[in-house]
Structure 1
Amino acid sequence: DYEGYSSIKLNNGFKDPSLCRETIGYWVLRHFMEAPQANYARVYVNGAYFGLYTSVESVNKSFAERRFESDKDNPFFKGDAEPAPPPPGCPPAQPGATLNYLGDEQACYETHYEIESDTGWNELIQLCYAIEAEHSLAPMRMETDRFLWMSVFNSLTVNLDSYLGSITHNYYLFRRDNGRFVPVIWDLNECFGGFNQLSSGMPLSISEMQQLSPDANKDLPGKPLLDLLLNEQRYRKMYYAHYRAMLEHFFANGAYLAKAEELQALISQAVQDDPNALYSFSDFEDNLYQSVNITGPGGNPFSIVGLHELMDARTSYLQSTPEWQVTAPQLGNFQPSAYAAMPGEQLWISIETQEADSCWLLYRYSSAEDFSMLPMYDDGNHEDGAAGDGIFGTSVNMGNTGLQFAFYGENVEAGTFLPYNATFAYYELGIASDIAINELMASNTTTQADQDGEFDDWVELYNNTSQLVSLEGYHLSDDESDLQKWTFPAGAQIEAQGYLIVWLDKDETQQGLHANFKLSADGEALFLSDPDGNLLDGVQFGAQLTDYAYARCPNGSGSFSILAPTFQASNETACLTDTREASEEEAWQFYPNPVTGSLYWQAPQGAQYPLEIRLSDLQGKLWLEQTLNAAEGSLPMQDLPTGMYLLFIEGKREPVKLVVLKL
């Protein structure tokens, strides 16, 4: 076990002289869908340096449980299997994990997929039936948006050793608790044109890869997923909306190349020192920009296209195609009727648009759910201003633990999402409550002991009012179907703008407030309700870090994130305080904050470069990262969702942390 990871996968860069294909590919993917982490490892054997490897997070049950907040024993498949003739009674089928419907017999699928769970074949068969035979069932069997992002990535980066290419493999399927399958891409050492076999015909030339159509293979009989996503009008517009977003934010602006150059600089010395390197150091440097000739298995020579050589020409080609000449909708400022509301309370949400004929609110109540599409209206009757003014509105009720939402606009030519990487990214509104669940700790080993010296789980409540509030008869629970699991005793109260701790240790025999349940550090939920059983506040949380709190930022009303604990005190110190005390000459300057466009920064005197700057939301999702080599610059934030972000700067000194508000 190493920092919670039980498996380490080391890859030697086969068919990737640049040693960047995997790390860059996964880096891009993680902005749009769940994908493995990837870095580099110097490997030593008996104290001797053996070589540099790419270290990629294993896609296993632990990965699925962490990323998808679901039971790790749910149906789980690897889209890969040893080729074999179809069993007796099974129809002829294309090779690979094609997602074709092959009838209802399990044996017909066993030669196309490897099962990673104890059960699940029936669920996989139902998925294949929806994808190929009954498209109306697809939204109930799969999280369509993740399959759209997978398909966009495979096409844009010419990742042909995938579902898109001739072998139709290299992905996983996991069925979430919500009953829908999600894909996970893996094995990216041959993305960016490292594998050039699109179909059973001749391999693609470099120019053919540079000009690979986004519609490639959509009508092949062994690609029913592409048929669904590219021939159904709504999905097709969503596919191209995602395609334009990924191209614009990571390739047309050169972000992928800057990241690759940064990574090559990081590993350059390790590559030069590698005693078992597969490629020369000049091939390593050159392949980022141009093709290099290498020797493959059996001594056969072949050429590997350069990343920049491929993607620079590919970007120009794509931007010249008809799908890039359309007038896509523009989605602008949006306005909720309230930024926090009680569970069940009606909320109105409006959004300004241009060139949109239709608009939808994509919403859900927790990250365990899939998004639903709710029509928005520009008729003057839905808190949308005047009819036909380009402002769309609709209403939705607040959920028990909050509301997560995004937008999709469409006209006859194209569609657009907001935020650009929806629905992996989304906006969020929280619960409004006089008494709020303010902070909790589900894995406490050293932070705070109870009156008996035991380090147990705890929750902190905060009174947002200026009056003392009696909590007699109120309830706490970790089960939404049983909100009255534990009841506050007679005399329980919370001071005005005060804090109250309840120990969640399943030990009511101890003095003080001790509930009859514990929290799971692997993630669950916590609810507060009044004496009549009306839900007042709730929070759903994923896996927790030991001795860290899950707390609101701002204190008492904001969204939750993992922070340093502030037991029975305001969270503002954890939200806003730098991780170190800086003298005046060491102080960083960031402006403007709040920000609507770019955030400008100026480094202190004596800063030691390079420095890494990362911008994450309060849920820990990484949105931007840069390497700083100069004393001043800017961070583009105009396309990010509104809300609070944590900015980290790391280098040779202690890290710096800043809270940034995006309007």
Structure 2
Amino acid sequence: MNKSKLTLILFGFLLSLHLSAQKGESLFDPNYMHEVRFYFFENNFFENMDSLWDVHHAASGINVPYTKALVQIDGNWLDTVGIRIKGLSSYYKANSKKKPFKVDLNEFTEGQQYDGMKKFNLHNGACDPAMLRDMLAYDVLRKAGVAAPRVSHCRLYFNDEFWGVYSIIEQIDKTFLKNNFASGGGTLIKNTGWDELHWKGPDIDPYLEDYEMKTNEDENDWSGFLHFVDVLNNTPDAEFAQAIQEVFDVDLYLHVMAVDVMTNNWDSYIDGERNWYLYHEPSSGKFHWIPWDYNLSLGGALTVEGAPYPPFEEDCYLQASFSYYSDDNVFYFINKTVPDIQQVFWDFGDGHTSTELEPSHQYTGTGTATVCLTAYRMENGNICENKRCKEIDLNFEPQQCQSIINGTSPYPATDPIFQLVAQQDEVCCEGDWDALCALQYYELSNSGQQSGVGTQGVEYDRDYPLIIADTNKVLIRRLMNVPEFRERYLNICCYLLANNFNQQRLFPLIDQQADLLRPHIKEDPNYIFHPDFFEYDTGNGSGGGGGAEIPALKWLLSQRFEQLEGHLADEGHDCSNATSLYGWHDIVINEVAASNVDPGGIPDPAGGYGDWIELYNNTAAEVRLDNFYLTDDPAKPLRWAFPIGTVIAPNGYLIVWADEDEDEPGLHTNFKLSKSGEFLMLMHEDGSVLDSLTFGEQVTNLTYSRIPNGTGDFEIKAATHGFNNSPVNAVEAELAEQITVLPNPSDEQLVIDFGQNILLNEILSVSLLSPLGKTLRFEISDNSSRVVIPTASFPPGCYFVKIDFTSGSLMKKVVIAH
């Protein structure tokens, strides 16, 4: 079994063991179709919402007023909430009813929330026939360690009328920040326009055209943002690498950029200069990039045009197709299926059917009808079946158009292509047949909609290289000009292709979600695209044509995987260099303190009492922990990265404080541990899991420790914090009883007294160690009965006295307090 497949299986197992639930876990559960019902207080609610959007939609629709409604989410009633139409391209590229919406649960009812969420978005699937592009891109981002929105799907009802299938997309707000960062109280800034982050001077006014502050608005402090843009643009090259990392999470953005490039997400900073947030997190003091809006990734396009042929099985090729024309209210259907078929079944959409190869049918009603042709043929002893549907306009009367008989058109009214042109462009029916009408006739004559049946895919040639050459993108240009950042970025691309952005992981996700959505999409009365578009977009990559401009997901992804491998080769980058040399239990989670309090606990270097994790290196070599991660959530495997340059000594220990205090001395994660039980995992970005564990209820100031040290099972015991977990032997126990360290707490000095019955020549040395195990003072034994260590120069906190003797060593915890 290959490494990537094993990693995916392991992640699935770890997810099943995860104990803690995050806010929004129910609302954003992607494994079932949710139901959201709004009940409005007025009959013309939709017209009013549409009018409000029309008046207030400037600046990406962020200032549109909310409309009051009651809501029921998955059977749970909430009091009055706010709902409004949102978006720009997703508004314009939708039909008259299926607009995108934003929901604020506490707009009119203060403090109201559902499943921990206060706001969410309802996306209409504009530019995305599969309604999966946002979900797929955000899923890749989250697996890559990026804080990105979650996505699920729902059936949306307005006053009990089924409005359609929508994506529920997480709102980037204070709740999102608290869920994803060590501190959620920082300043969130939204990019609302088109900007490349160029320096426009020290005054904020020129920037406000493209940015809006979303939190801490009352303070209105833009100084951090201006400093970031200043550092980005004006720092000399020699100082840039260090300076930018002090104000900006560079590694995070390198992951975002890699996903944007891989998914061809042109409507982002890499090309369109839009759709992101910047979050200034207090605990790290850095800006973090939060990506937004991926419906135009993976081939999504600003169009609803086309009627692509559905996919077919490679071993059973068959594409049903037909055209039609009408004459005196009788419709004549022309079978264009390829290859030859043995049997057909026509459903005329009004309760009548036919098995004739090319039937005619007279309708008695008006409006529209959906006509479906199902074609059958035998191949290799199997029955091949393929279905094609079209909506026809029963009210259209081609005889009233300007045809060859009564006008300027050179075609008769019964010409099927003439009828299509006349229906699409009323000028070609009612006015003079001009050059534009002639062009439309020519294009339809030569398109797959009429004669090109069997054409696969669509014309799509977007192919971003890994290194964006646009020098106007100052963030990309400056980062890629730093060799270590460029190397790191290419390694990230290697990791993504190996473990995340690949067919093995994404194709099953597409299939699973398509199966979930399919029956509901078929019932969607306001689905934006042609009915066959969903099957084509979520299918095996075959089908297409029919004037479609959006490529099928699997076709696009298969092409992209191959392109990206080529781009890595073009860069001369060897992905084998990005693979970790270490495997399972080379480094282990050796000791865990999930309830560390004062008094009795162990303080961190700043004097606080946070949770902590001890790692132990089972190898005889120093290990550099670049690109290693700790997480307490298997859904976020890359949650906290070890700072570049962090090392763990051979057969050595490393303490990591799990307390969200990232700005303090030492190593501090962006998550805390739970005394009631928790999950932990140590992994490399290439997918290698070095250790993982799940523990239950813990005891205050005792630890969950491996016995024997580094290899054994876990026991709850007294903390050893940076030292061997294994019990002391009889000699060590006797020495421990006789040796005293006084005074404890200490101010000016510590006196280590060896007692009366110890062979002093057994004592080798005495050391004073910091909480992280660093040697602060080292004394060689001179066979005297006591050793004095001055402590006045050391800051208050918890320390350890280590006594080495010929048969081992022992440790005493001491406190220095001035």
Is 1:260 matched with 2:510?
A: yes
- One-letter amino acid matched to 1:113: Y
Match of 2:292 among 186, 192, 195: 186
- Separation in structure 1 between the aligned mates of residue 690 and residue 520 of structure 2, nearest angstrom: 36
Bigger radius of gyration, 1 or 2?
2
Q: Is the 8 A contact 2:156 2:166 kept in 1?
A: yes
Q: In the alignment, is residue 146 of structure 1 matched against residue 252 of structure 2?
A: yes
1:383 alignment partner, one of 646, 650, 658: 650
1:420 to 652, 666, 685: 685
CA contact 1:76–1:116 (8 Å) conserved in 2: yes
What residue is the counterpart of 1:170 in the other structure? 275
Asked if 1 retains the 8 angstrom alpha-carbon contact of 2:626 and 2:645, the reply is: yes
Tell me which residue corresponds to 1:25: 137
Q: CA deviation at 1:464?
A: 3.8
Q: Show the counterpart of 1:37.
A: 150
Aligned to 1:137: 243
Return the alpha-carbon distance in structure 2 between the equivalents of residues 376 and 127 of structure 1: 29
Report the aligned-residue RMSD.
4.4
Q: Deviations over 1:453-483 (max 9, x none)?
A: xxxxxxxxx98469xxxxxxxxxxxxxxxxx
Q: Counterparts of 2:629 and 2:300 in 1: how far apart (Å)?
A: 38
2:565 to 310, 319, 342: 319
In structure 2, distance between residues paired with 1:336 and 1:438: 15
| Counterpart residue identity of residue 190, structure 2 | K
Secondary structure of the equivalent of 1:284? helix
Could you tell me which residue of structure 2 aligns to residue 602 of structure 1? none
Change (3 A) 1:375 1:206: farther
Deviations 1:589-629, CA, capped at 9 Å, x for gaps: xxxxxxxxxxxxxxxxxxxxxxxxxxxxxxxxxxxxxxxxx
Which residue of 2 is the match for residue 215 of structure 1? 467
**Shift in Å at residue 156 of structure 1?**
0.5
Compared with structure 1, are the counterparts of its residues 364 and 37 closer, same or farther at alpha carbon in structure 2 (3 Å cutoff)? closer
Q: Which residue of 2 aligns with 1:489?
A: none
Is 1:374 the counterpart of 2:672? The answer is no
CA pair 291-177 structure 1, distance change in 2 beyond 3 A: farther
The answer to whether 1:6 aligns with 2:118 is yes
CA contact (8 A) 1:343 1:399 kept: no
More displaced stretch, 282-291 vs 179-188: 282-291
Per-residue displacement from partner, 1:419-442 (whole Å, max 9, x unpaired)? 227999998999xx9853799xxx
SS in 2 for 1:129: helix
TM-score when scaled to structure 2?
0.42
Aligned match of 1:125: 226
Q: Any idea what the Cα deviations from partners look like across 1:102-148, whole Å, max 9, x if unmatched?
A: 22111121122122131242111111222233223111111222111
> Would the aligned equivalents of 2:628 and 2:642 in 1 still touch at CA under 8 Å?
yes
Query: Using the alignment, how far apart are the partners of 2:501 and 2:641 within structure 1?
Result: 29
CA distance in 2, matches of 1:98, 1:175: 19
User: How many residue pairs were aligned?
Assistant: 392
Query: 1:348/1:23 Cα in 2 relative to 1: closer, same or farther (>3 Å)?
Result: closer
1:116 and 2:218 correspond? no
Structure 2: distance between partners of 1:348 and 1:185: 33
1:173 partner SS: strand
Question: Kindly tell me: are residues 156 and 365 of structure 1, through their superposed partners in 2, closer, same or farther at Cα, counting changes over 3 Å?
Answer: closer
Q: Per-residue displacement from partner, 1:283-341 (whole Å, max 9, x unpaired)?
A: 111013358579xxxxxx76112211111011112223425545414331332594358
- Superposition pairs for residues 183-332 of structure 1, below 5 Å? 183-195=289-301, 208-209=461-462, 211-217=463-469, 219-221=470-472, 223-288=473-538, 289=541, 303-320=549-566, 321-322=568-569, 323=572, 325-328=574-577, 329-332=579-582
**Structure 1 segments unaligned to the other structure (5+ residues):** 82-95, 198-204, 295-300, 385-393, 407-416, 440-461, 467-531, 537-663
| 1:534–1:357 CA distance, 2 compared to 1 (3 A) | closer
Letter in 1 for 2:684: P
Among 31, 34, 55, which residue is 2:168 paired with?
Answer: 55
- Answer whether contact 1:38 1:56 (CA < 8 A) is retained: yes
CA distance in structure 2 between the aligned counterparts of 1:208 and 1:316, rounded to whole angstroms: 13
Verify the 8 A CA contact 1:330 1:353 in the aligned structure 2: no
Contact 2:165 2:520 in 1 (8 A): yes
Relative to structure 1, the CA distance from residue 168 to residue 246 in structure 2 (aligned partners, 3 Å threshold; closer, same or farther) is same
Structure 1 residue 251: Cα displacement? 3.5
Contact 1:25 1:191 in 2 (8 A): yes
SS in 2 for 1:130: helix
**Counterpart secondary structure, 2:502:** coil
Query: Contact 1:332–1:353 (CA<8 Å) still a contact in 2?
Result: no
**Offset of residue 97 of structure 1:** 2.9
* Structure-2 change in CA distance of 1:463 and 1:188 (3 Å): closer
Q: Distance in 1 between matches of 2:491 and 2:620?
A: 16
**Secondary structure, in 3 states, of the residue corresponding to 1:30?**
helix
Q: Is the 8 A contact 2:620 2:650 kept in 1?
A: no
Per the alignment, do residues 263 and 336 of structure 1 end up closer, same or farther by CA in structure 2, a change over 3 Å counting?
closer
* 1:212 counterpart SS class: coil
Evaluate the alpha carbon distance shift between residue 128 and residue 139 of structure 1 in structure 2; reply closer, same or farther with a 3 A threshold.
same
Identity, % of aligned pairs? 19
| Cα gap change, 1:56 to 1:104, in 2 (>3 Å) | same
Match of 1:580 in 2: none
Aligned residues of 2:580 and 2:688 also touching (Cα < 8 A): no
**1:15: how far off?**
0.9
> Per the alignment, do residues 396 and 208 of structure 1 end up closer, same or farther by CA in structure 2, a change over 3 Å counting?
same
Deviation of 1:7 (Å): 1.5
Which secondary structure state, in structure 2, belongs to the residue aligned with residue 77 of structure 1? Answer: strand
Contact persistence 1:156–1:247 (CA under 8 A): no
Deviations 1:347-377 (A, max 9, x none): 77548799x9976486899999875223549
Are the aligned partners of 1:291 and 1:309 in contact in 2 as well (CA < 8 Å)?
no
Which amino acid in 2 is paired with 1:208?
A: D
TM-score under structure 1 length normalisation: 0.51
Q: Which amino acid aligns with 2:701?
A: A
Given the superposition, is the C-alpha separation of residues 339 and 228 from structure 1 closer, same or farther in structure 2, using an over 3 Å criterion?
A: farther
Q: Is the Cα–Cα contact under 8 Å of residues 343 and 400 in structure 1 kept in the other structure?
A: no
Q: Secondary structure at 2:261's aligned position in 1?
A: helix
Using the TM superposition, give the Cα deviation of residue 169 of structure 1 relative to its aligned residue in structure 2, in angstroms: 0.6
Match of 2:159 in 1: 46
Could you tell me how far apart the structure 2 residues matched to 1:180 and 1:47 are?
47
From the superposition, tell whether residues 120 and 76 of structure 1 become closer, same or farther in structure 2 (CA, over 3 Å).
farther
CA deviation map 1:197-232 (0-9, x unaligned): 9xxxxxxx95532x4211123x422x1221233221
**Aligned mates of 1:426, 1:180 — CA distance in 2:** 29
2:471 counterpart letter in structure 1? L
Secondary structure of 1:332's counterpart equals coil
Change over 3 Å in CA distance of 1:168–1:364 after alignment to 2: same
8 Å Cα contact 2:260/2:268 also seen in 1:
yes
Question: 1:353 and 1:16, CA in 2 relative to 1: closer, same or farther beyond 3 A?
Answer: farther
Residue 262 of structure 1 and its aligned partner are, at CA, apart by 0.8
- Whether the 8 Å contact between 1:25 and 1:188 is mirrored in structure 2 is yes
Question: Structure 1 residues 253-262 or 394-403, which shifts more?
Answer: 394-403
- Higher-helix-fraction structure: 2
Check the 8 A contact 1:292/1:304 in 2, yes or no.
no
Instruction: Assess, with a 3 A threshold, how the Cα gap between structure 1 residues 150 and 4 changes in structure 2: closer, same or farther.
Output: same
How far apart, CA to CA, are the structure 2 residues paired with 1:106 and 1:428? 48
